[in-house]
Amino acid sequence: MPSPELRRAVVIEDDSDIRGLLVRILTKQGFEVTGTADGLAGIAAVRATRPDLVTLDLNLPDLDGLEVCSKLREFSEAFIIMLTARVDEPDKLTGLDNGADDYINKPFSPREFQSRVNALFRRARPSAADAGAQDDLIHAGRVQQSLLPTEKVQLDGYEVAGVFRPSRSVGGDFYDWYQTPGGLHLTFADAMGKGMGAALIAATTRAVMRSVRYVPDLDAAFSAASTSIAADLDGSGSFVTLFHARLDAASGRVGYVDAGHGLALHVGTGGTAVRLPSAGPPVGAWADTQWREAELDLSPGDALVVVSDGILDIFPSVEEFTAAVLRVTLTQPTADAVCHALLALAPAGTAEDDVTAVVVRRLAGGDGR
């Protein structure tokens, strides 16, 4: 909706008193108003000023108001409110069919007129460009969902699951995993911001992290990837929090690097939840940063849980957040159920950020082979 100082209106009304009243009302509502006394002058004013709103009398001295409405609709997307003393239903229906957005009978209440105008702008008509942009966002959302891992991890002794719910059509969160001969690689990232820009950063991060999958040393792989990502981020002035882990299934050893994410937890069967420490700031925040690998051991029954700050934000403290993650992880029967229960902690109707969760659980009694 245009801001009030940019709104324009054209009043097409042959009665000078009513025209003056409408001009005063609309001016008070923040419109820049042009008044005309006949249809041809009104059409010319609409062409010249490209208004957001037109009020149109049906009984004009030169053209019928219905004809003026039809002509305006050939080139203008302005809201059109018809004002007339005609009370017959066919006239109203014809006016609406010709492109009018509302119909007010004379005499009218200034308050009613103001309310009708406000109601129109609350549900402002999307332009063709807006509709096209919305279609693009819907398509982008489908593309982003298609980049998430769809293959089931077939890893004896383990189960892996993930969920992602963007706050808009697309989001800046993402997760990715793929099996290796001896285990699993997992990436979890949260790009700064929301919407399309963040989604592009997330897609770039995914591609770069996959490009270093064959570099055997984790520190070297992450260093090469972060350098490449930072170069891409430099021009946009953005950054991305990034957690990357490599699981050796036989031993349960997880080597990981945490760049500013800080929301990965090691949940133990004994009722403990330990947040894994971050090794430094987000990628792209400061130049020449180095992050070092850390390790944890997943014993049978343990889980690695990684979430985005869309879940953290709903809790008043980190301690309450940690306790909630622990409770959900220990009470749900599967990794997939854990993910969906974590998502439920931040309902879609109230969450203001993307919400994502990934769980890698080593099965109780499993040997990982």
> What is the per-residue pLDDT across 54-63, written as a single tens digit (0 to 9) for each?
999 988 999 8
Which is more confidently placed, 236 or 188?
A: 188
Q: Is pTM beyond 0.85 here?
A: no
What burial class does residue 45 get, using C-beta atoms within 10 Å of its C-beta: 0-12 exposed, 13-18 middle, 19+ buried? buried
pLDDT at 349: 66
Given pLDDT bands bounded at 50, 70 and 90, which one contains residue 118?
confident
Pick from 193, 209, 190, 201: which is nearest to 311 by CA?
A: 190
| Distance in angstroms between the alpha carbons of the first and the last residue of the chain | 60
Which is more confidently placed, 286 or 293?
A: 293
- Residue 287 to residues 84, 214, 226, 230, 258: CA-CA distances in angstroms? 67, 25, 10, 8, 16
Which is more confidently placed, 255 or 369?
A: 255
What is the separation of C-alpha 53 from the centre of its chain, rounded to a whole number of angstroms?
A: 30
Q: Is 170's pLDDT higher than 70?
A: no
pLDDT at 243: 96
> pLDDT tens digits, residue range 324-356?
999 999 999 999 999 999 999 988 766 677 889
Q: Is 93's pLDDT higher than 90?
A: no
Q: Is 104's pLDDT higher than 80?
A: yes
| Cα-Cα-Cα-Cα dihedral sign, residues 29, 32, 34, 40 | negative
pLDDT at 4: 41
pLDDT at 368: 42
> To the nearest whole percent, how much of the chain has pLDDT over 70?
84
> To the nearest whole percent, how much of the chain has pLDDT over 90?
52
Q: Is 359's pLDDT higher than 60?
A: yes
Residues 279, 258 contacting (CB under 8 angstroms): yes
> pLDDT tens digits, residue range 211-262?
999 999 999 999 999 998 888 777 667 789 999 999 999 999 999 999 999 9
Q: Is 2's pLDDT higher than 80?
A: no
pLDDT at 137: 55
**Cis link prior to 181 (omega < 30° from 0)?**
no
Three state DSSP letters for the chain: CCCHHHCEEEEECCCHHHHHHHHHHHHHCCCEEEEECCHHHHHHHHHHHCCCEEEEECECCCCEHHHHHHHHHCCCCCEEEEEECCCCHHHHHHHHHCCCCEEEECCCCHHHHHHHHHHHHHCCCCCHHHHHHHHHHHHHHHHHHHCCCCCCCCCCCEEEEEEEECCCCCCCEEEEEEEECCEEEEEEEEECCCHHHHHHHHHHHHHHHHHCCCCCCHHHHHHHHHHHHHHHHHCCCCCEEEEEEEEECCCCEEEEEEECCCCEEEEECCCEEEECCCCCCCECCCCCCCCCCEEEECCCCCEEEEECHHHHCCCCCHHHHHHHHHHHHHHCCCHHHHHHHHHHCCCCCCCCCCEEEEEEEECCCCCCC
Given pLDDT bands bounded at 50, 70 and 90, which one contains residue 1?
very low
Pairing of strands 8-12, 32-36: parallel
